Amino acid sequence: MMTTRIEQAEAIVKKHMNWSFVGGLIPVPLVDVAAVTAVQVKMLSDLAKLYEVPFQANAAKAVVTALLGGILPSMLTGPLAGAGAKLIPVIGTTLGVITMPALSLGATCAVGRIFIKHFESGGTFLDLDVEKMRKHFQAEFQTGRTASKA
């Protein structure tokens, strides 16, 4: 059976969601965030290859940062709390390791699905309208977080 490009793209996102979940388990603050960011950039590289869009690592990182930065205020009780909690010995590490994987998974899901939609419409890394995508990103983030609880 032949798979569609969207199915292939969703498979790429799912694989990287799993890796970002693992990255979120890293008990060292900032190292976990760096690992998840690396997974997301690799995912975008794989999606760009699938969609035959020139990959630009710096542009990809900038867009991911802008998307995540846009929902940061609503996430202060989530990913930042999870990453920051890891600074507190024993209890904080435990709390961080419990929350960060699900939040990392949700963020990776959202980033991937935003780019699938964008690439499907013929977009590139340079023409993504972050402001326009922010609301959609938040919805996808919640979808990804929900998926982590299943």
- pLDDT tens profile 26-66: 877 778 888 888 999 999 999 999 999 999 889 888 888 88
- pLDDT tens profile 54-102: 998 898 888 888 887 765 545 444 444 445 555 555 555 555 556 778 7
Structure tokens at 59: 């542009």
Q: Which pLDDT score is estimated for 95?
A: 56
Q: Which pLDDT score is estimated for 112?
A: 95
Count CB-CB contacts under 10 A for residue 66: 15
The CA–CA distances, whole Å, from 46 to 8, 10, 59 equal 10, 11, 15
Residue span of the structural domain in which 81 resides: 5-149
| Strands in 69-134 per DSSP E | none
Please report, as a single letter, which amino acid is at residue 142.
Answer: Q
- 115 with 136: CB under 8 angstroms? no
Angle at 49 between CA 46 and CA 54, to 5 degrees: 115
Q: Which pLDDT score is estimated for 94?
A: 54
Count: domains in the chain = 1
